[in-house]
Amino acid sequence: MGQIWTVTMYIASSLTPKKESNRFLLLIFSPKPGRLNMATRILFLVLLFICSSGNAYDPSPLQDFCVADLKSPVLVNGFVCKNPNLAQANDFFFAGLDKPGNTSNPLGLGVTPVTATQIPGLNTLGISSVRIDYALNGLNPPHTHPRATEILVVLKGILYAGFVTSNPENRLFTKVLKKGDVFVFPIGLIHFQLNVGETNAVAISSLSSQNPGVITIANAVFRSKPQIHEDVLTKAFQVDKKVIDALQAHF
């Protein structure tokens, strides 16, 4: 007779502890009692790798905190921890979100980020924040955060906000947001906000990564270094070469 091996596995998450909702039972049958054959061992290791890495975006903390050593020359996924005995309250503190960002630019947009670079104590905690200021008609142009979901709270003004789903549907979800309203932009999806009110607008966003990243679509396409070949863009956008030249010159 063979033997059934019972293994309890947890889906790793940088945001949630081990609990019933992310635990499952894996039953493995071995034809020879007392041991697993090579193929079964390989299958087990593959499943273990998938379950331990597939749901984790930021590194999960293995200690109370890992204050970033921003001066360390060592390159890792995130920041190296400094000696926890040297941590101070200021490592977990940032002052300045009460101050308006500079909106004197073509977009009328001011962004004040609060990531692990500004608060070293955020390192490995999988969260960050940002204050966004919008001048009249100010625009946070279509962009994406490759490593984070975003939740936005309007503190002042009126914003037209939305996001677009992935291919092939490309569905547009939009909402006009007023003071106190909240809107969510799922991870990786292109989204935007436009000030449609009669005053300046202010919002605070929280993101599910210490370093969510930003890819502004227009900048990525028309201001890449080196530039994307014009034949690629004329065919992709189905426009004349002169249009592409003008856009690349503008950006």
d(CA 198, CA 158): 8
Give the range among 20-34, 139-153, 191-205 with minimum mean pLDDT. 20-34
Task: Give the residue numbers spanning the domain of 130.
Answer: 89-213
Name which of 12, 217, 213 is nearest 128 in CA terms: 213
- Does residue 76 belong to any structural domain of this protein? no
Tell whether 38 and 93 lie within a shared domain: no
Whether 183 contacts 176, CB under 8 Å: no
Q: Which residues of 190-228 are buried (b: 16+ CB within 10 A; e: fewer)?
A: bbbbbbbbeebbbbbbbbbbbbbeeeeeeeebbeeeeee
User: Are 205 and 221 contained in the same domain?
Assistant: no
Q: Residue 170: inside a domain, yes or no?
A: yes
Does the residue 250 lie in any domain?
Answer: yes
At 45, is the secondary structure helix, strand, or coil? helix
Determine if residue 198 is labeled as part of a ligand binding site: no
Q: Does residue 36 belong to any structural domain of this protein?
A: yes
Of residues 26 and 74, the one with the higher pLDDT is: 74
The 10s digit of each residue's pLDDT in 78-122 is 899 999 999 999 999 999 999 999 999 999 999 999 999 999 999
What pLDDT shows up at residue 32?
53
**250 annotated to bind ligand:** no
CA 122 – CA 133 distance, rounded (Å): 23
Is 150 known to sit in a ligand binding site?
A: yes
Weakest-pLDDT range from 27-36, 56-65, 143-152, 213-222: 27-36
191 is in an annotated binding site: yes
Q: What digits encode the pLDDT tens for the residues 11-59?
A: 444 344 444 444 444 444 445 555 556 655 555 444 444 444 444 467 6
Once rounded to an integer, what is the mean pLDDT over residues 185-194? 98
**Tell me, what's the pLDDT at 236?**
96
The answer to whether residue 171 is domain-embedded is yes
Domain membership of residue 72 (yes or no) is: no
Whether 75 maps to a domain, the answer reads: no
Whole-number pLDDT of residue 62 = 81
Q: What is the DSSP letter of 118?
A: T
Q: Structure pTM? A: 0.76
Same domain, 250 and 175: no
* pLDDT score recorded for residue 34: 52
